[in-house]
Every structure is written in structure tokens, then in C-alpha cells.
Amino acid sequence: MTRTVVHLLRHGEVHNPDGILYGRLPGFRLSANGRHQAEIVAKALADADLGAVVASPLQRAQETAAPVAAAHGLQVGTDEGLIEAGNQFEGERVSVGDGALRSPRHWPKLRDPFTPSWGEPYREIGERMLAAVHRARETAPGREVLCVSHQLPIWTLRRFVTGQRLWHDPRRRQCALASLTSLVFDGAELVQVRYTEPAGGSDPRATGA
């Protein structure tokens, strides 16, 4: 079998002084710390046998991918399948535990936490992310590929491929800023999932992190 590793990198910290949930909104770039995190990841992957670097079309993902691609003499490709999850709270100041979600105007969006009713269904996220991973795997069989995406899509994919239920407590996501969730394949068969935090941990509850 051919051993291929697809690394899923969550983007670095974003410049978000208003603390909004920005989702797919344009114009959200990395903060100075986020750029530093991207450089740390580039150093951590300096010896990786990378055959391709692919990112979500959103600015923060493209900027996180750039140092890694440059270090390996690669161009950053774009795959829409890696984009952030759709969310009806986009543009609002809401975060887990801050009380904002208790507002009656939000209740219709919160009627079904299992699908969920406020955004892109978890199963659809898992399926599109897995398809993007397999596209990436097929670009460099026998080597390593980096895919830069976002916290919820990466965490949903991890639960999807390991057979866990897809609805979950957002406060317990193991997907820190600039972390790597690595899927190891023998041919097309997933045989291992690894997780590392080259830039350190971060709080999964932080909105817009």
C-alpha cells in the first residue's frame, strides 16, 4: 500500500477586535500573533515531504498556508471544500457561555442542536471535508499534503472519520489555533489520526479566534 499523510491545519489567530463570529465574511486577516503561529508551523513542517499545500478560499486560511508553501517551493492551491461552516450567527457577537445566545430573537435558530438548525449540517460538513481530503491525498500519493481549514470543519471531520456522533460540546473541541490534525492513509484507507499543537494550545470557546 502507499502511505500518504494529509495534515489538516487550523488557521492562526485572526485580527478580530470586535469579537464577532465572522464565519465566511471576507476581509478577516491574521493578527500579528496569527502570522507568528503560521511561521511556527512552517518550521515544524520544514522536514515534511510535502507534495502540495491547499487552503480554504478565506483570507485567514490562505495567509496561514503561505509560509509553509514558500518553505517548500510550492504554490497555495484553493479548495472550496475546506471552507468554514455556514452559520446564521455570522457577523454577530456571540460566543459559548457569554449569555448572548439566551436572547429570544435567537431561539428559532437554536431549535435543533443536533443538525444543527443554525448552520450547515454537520454531516454535510464531514462529507465535503472528507472529499477535499481525498482530493488532496490523490495529488501526492506516498507523500504528505497540507490542507488549511477551520476549527469546526476539522473537528467535524475528525469525529466523522472516527465514527463518533457529530453533534458535540463546542467547548471541548480539540482543535487549537494553528494545530495539526493528521490523517494517515494506506492507499485510500484511513489507518491513523494524529493531533499536535506546534504553536501551543488555545481556548476553543474564543469567538473569532
Half-sphere exposure of 28 (CA within 13 A, CB side): 25
54-86, pLDDT tens digit by residue? Answer: 999 999 999 999 999 999 999 999 999 999 997
**Angstrom distance (rounded) from CA 194 to CA 44:** 15
For residue 1, give the 3-state DSSP assignment. coil
Indicate the pLDDT class of residue 189, thresholds 50, 70 and 90.
very high
The three cell numbers of residue 23 are 464565519
Cβ neighbours, 10 Å, residue 125: 26
The three cell numbers of residue 129 are 471535508
Res. 93: pLDDT tops 60: yes
Identify the burial level of 108 via C-beta atoms within 10 angstroms of its C-beta, where 0-12 means exposed, 13-18 middle and 19 or more buried: exposed
* Residue 9 parent element (H or E): strand 3-10
13-66, pLDDT tens digit by residue? Answer: 999 988 888 888 998 999 999 999 999 999 999 999 999 999 999 999 999 999
Indicate the pLDDT class of residue 149, thresholds 50, 70 and 90.
very high
User: What domains can you pick out in the chain, each with its CATH number?
Assistant: 3-196 (3.40.50.1240)
pTM (2 decimals)? 0.88
